[in-house]
Amino acid sequence: MLSEEIKDFLLEDAVNKFLRYVKVWTTSDESSQSNPSSENQFELGKILAEELKELNLENVEHDKFGYVYADLPANAGLETVKRIGLIAHIDTSPAVSGKNVKPVIHKNYNGETIEFASNMDITLTVDDSPILKEYIGLDIITSEGDTLLGADDKAGIAEIMAACSAWQRFSELKHGPITICFTPDEEVGRGTLKINRERLPEICYTVDGSEMGELEIECFDAWKATITFTGLSIHPGYAKNLLINATHIACRFLSEIPEYESPEHTENREGFYFVGGLKGTIEKANTTLIIRDYTKENNERRMNFLLDLKNLYELRYPGLKIDLEFVHQYSNMLHFIEKEKNVVDFAEKAIQMAGMDVNFHSIRGGTDGAKLSEMGIPTPNIFTGGSLFHSKKEHIPTKAFQKASEVLIGLANLWASK
C-alpha cells in the first residue's frame, strides 16, 4: 500500500503534467509519408526529453523519427532484476482537431449534463458515457468542446512521468531497471514503424486508453483495404451506354457493404468494415476501408466479400476497372502475450494493489503493443482512465491519473520482487 503522501503527489503531479501536455499540438497526419507524420510531434517530444533529463534518467534520446527513450536505473541491489518498458504515444488522432486544446476541470461532478464553453451544439451526459455515473463527486477534465482533449494518450504520458517523478522522490519505492519510450504516430498505425528495437527490454506495457481497472491483452486483427475505381468521362448530354461515372459507382459499391457490420452497429467481439472516406471525380474515385475482427478467419470472409463485389461490378459496368489492395496492419496480440504468464499476472495484481477490480477487456482497436507483441516483446495495455477518445466529448476523471500511476509503481515493485 502506498502512503497518502505518495498518492497525493501522484495525483497532483500527473494532472499538472497532463494539463501542460494537452496544450501542445501533436495531431498525426495519415496522408503524410514523413516520420513522424507531422513536425509538431517533435515539440512535445523535446519537452519530454528535457523533463526526463531533469528527473536524472539516463540515456535520454529524442531521435530524428520523433521517438523519446530513457532509462531509469534500478534501486541499489536490484540492478540484475528483469528490465521492463513503459510506453505511451505522443500523437493525437487526426479525426478531430487537436490544435489549441483548452482543458477544463469540472469540479465535483454532480451527475448532470456537462456543457462546453466553445461548442454549444454538444453536451456530455451519462447517455453518452455511462461510466460517468461512477464519477459523481470526482473532478472531470474535458476540452472546451471545439477540439478533442488529448487524453489519448497524453494521459498515459503524464501517468508514466508522474511515476518517474515518484521513483526519484521517494526512495522507499522499490523498482528494477525501467525503460521509458514515447512513440509518434500510433494513431495512424505507424507507432512502431521506426522504433529502435535495441532500446526496448524483453517485456513492455503500453499505458493507453481504457477505463480505470481495465487490463487489455487482446486486440483486433487489422486490415486496410484501398479501392480505386477507374471510369470514363463523357459529356452527360451524350452519355448513354458510354459514361462510366467512377464516383457514382463507388457510392453504389460501398452501399453493398452490410450495414449491420459497421462500427455503429457492432460491439463487444463483433467485427466490422469502416469506410474512412471517399474522394473522386467522374473518371477516378478512391476509398479506404479498415477491416477489423478478433479472428483472421472472419476478416478473410470480409475481404473475400469485397473481392467478389469487385468482380461483380466489373461485369455489371463494362469498361470499369477496380483495383483492390489489402494490407495487414497488426495481429491480435493475445496469441503472443498468453505465452508469458507473469506479464499479465503482475499487471493484474498491480491493479488490485491499487484498490481496483480488474476488468479484462478486449480492445476494439489496437495499440503499439499489438505490433510489439508480434515482434517478440509481449506488451499488454494498462488503462489511463479516459473515455470517448477521438471526440470532442473526450473526458477523464483526475482520480484516474493517481490510480494509473499507482499501478505502474506497483507493477515495478512486483517485477523487482520476483
pLDDT tens column, 34-72? 999 999 999 999 999 999 999 999 999 999 999 999 999
Nearest to 413 by CA among 173, 203, 184: 173
Per residue in 336-373, pLDDT tens? 998 888 999 999 999 999 999 999 989 898 889 999 99
The pLDDT value recorded for residue 159 is: 98
* pLDDT for residue 210 is more than 90: no
The pLDDT value recorded for residue 133 is: 96
d(C-alpha 244, C-alpha 232), whole Å: 5
Residue ranges matching CATH 3.30.70.360 in the chain: 222-329
CATH class of 222-329: alpha beta
DSSP track, 91-134: -B-TTS--TT---EEETT--SS-EEETTEEEEEE-TTT-GGGGG
What does pLDDT average to over the chain? 96
Nearest to 91 by CA among 167, 193, 12: 193
Residue ranges matching CATH 3.40.630.10 in the chain: 4-219+332-417
Q: Which CATH number fits domain 4-219+332-417: 3.40.630.10, 3.40.710.10, 3.40.50.970, 1.10.1740.10?
A: 3.40.630.10
Provide the annotated active-site residues. Answer: 91, 186
Per residue in 261-317, pLDDT tens? 999 999 999 999 999 999 999 999 999 999 999 999 999 999 999 999 999 999 999
SS3 248: helix
Strand duo 381-382 + 178-183: pairing: unpaired
* pLDDT for residue 418 is more than 90: no
Per residue in 226-258, pLDDT tens? 999 999 999 999 999 999 999 999 999 999 999
Poorest-pLDDT segment among 98-102, 156-160, 331-335:
331-335
d(C-alpha 336, C-alpha 93), whole Å: 27
The amino acid present at 243, given as its one-letter code, is L
Gyration radius of the chain's alpha carbons: 23
Q: Is residue 137 packed enough to be buried (19+ CB in 10 Å), middle (13-18) or exposed (0-12)? A: exposed
Sequence-distant (6+) residues with CB within 8 A of 95 are: 148, 390, 391
